[in-house]
Amino acid sequence: MCGRFLLAMEPADLQDAFPQFKIPGTIQPRYNIAPSQPVLVIPNNSSFKASYFIWSMIPAWAKDPSNGSRMINARAETLAEKPSFRGPFKYRRCLILANGYYEWKQWPGIKTRTPFFILLIVWQTV
């Protein structure tokens, strides 16, 4: 489960990839997007416009909204069943724009973790 990702694309390239949506004209490259930070997303609504949302999820039953950055991931196997994620999964989806994400590996005998960058490369032949 990723806890950090990056978005470092030219707005024109994003616009070409998603021509039916309006992409902001300026996007600052961000190489370490973390929970509780603004994230460029395409919401599942009728606006057809990419917007910035804060990366968090505050369950309807939560008494303290400051805990929103704790719930950032869900397991695909139980997503539709867990009370915290069931409603958002069914009714409030969005597309997160990202180039890749980071996973961390804990090595035996070492306290710090090593980040690994995961990137999808699509090869095109002409």
What residues are labeled active site?
A: 2, 103
- Among residues 36, 30, 48, the alpha carbon closest in space to that of 3 is found at 36
Task: Give the C-alpha separation, 114 to 112, whole Å.
Answer: 7
**SS3 for 4?**
strand
Residues 6+ apart with CB under 8 A from 108: none
